[in-house]
Amino acid sequence: MNTSIESALVVLIPEAEALVEPFRKQFDPSAAMGVPAHVTILYPFKSPDKLTNDVLSFLRNLFQELPSFNALFTEIMRFPDAIFLAPEPAEPFRQMTMLIANRFPDTPPYRGAFKEIVPHLTVAQVSDPQQLEKIASDFYKATLGKLPIHTRVNRVSLLEKSSGYWRVRTQFSLFQDKRAS
- Domain assignment present for residue 32? The answer is yes
With respect to residue 33, please indicate whether it lies within any of the assigned structural domains: yes
Within 13 Å of residue 8, how many CA atoms lie on the same side as its CB? 22
Mean pLDDT, rounded, for 168-177: 94
- Range 61-80 average pLDDT: 97
Cα(39)–Cα(11) distance, rounded to whole angstroms?
5
The reply to whether 179 falls in a domain is no
- Within a domain: 178: no
CATH number assigned to the domain comprising residue 92 = 3.90.1140.10
- pLDDT tens, 107-163? 999 877 778 999 999 999 999 999 999 999 999 999 999 999 999 999 999 999 988
User: Which residue segment(s) compose the domain that 67 sits in?
Assistant: 6-173
Residue 52 neighbours by CB under 8 Å, 6+ apart: none
Could you tell me if 18 and 36 are in contact, meaning their C-beta atoms sit under 8 angstroms apart?
Answer: no
Its pTM stands at 0.94
* Residue range 23-46, pLDDT digits in tens: 999 999 999 999 999 999 999 999
In angstroms, the CA 35 to CA 24 distance is 10
Average pLDDT in the chain: 94
Number of domains in the chain: 1
Residues 85, 123: Cα–Cα separation, whole Å: 7
Q: Which residues pair with 171 in a beta bridge?
A: 157
Of 63, 13, 55, 67, give the one whose Cα is nearest residue 173.
63
pLDDT at res. 161 = 94
Tell me the CB-side half-sphere exposure of residue 115, using CA atoms within 13 A. Answer: 0
Judged against a pLDDT cut of 90, whether residue 171 lies above it is answered with yes
| Mean pLDDT (whole number) for 11-26 | 98
Phi-psi region of 163 (alpha: psi -120 to 50; beta: other; left: phi over 0): left
pLDDT at 3: 54
**E strands along 59-164, which residues?**
69-79, 82-88, 121-125, 149-153, 155-162
25 domain-assigned:
yes
Please indicate, yes or no, if residue 125 is contained in any of the structural domains.
Answer: yes
- pLDDT bin (cut points 50, 70, 90) of residue 1 is very low
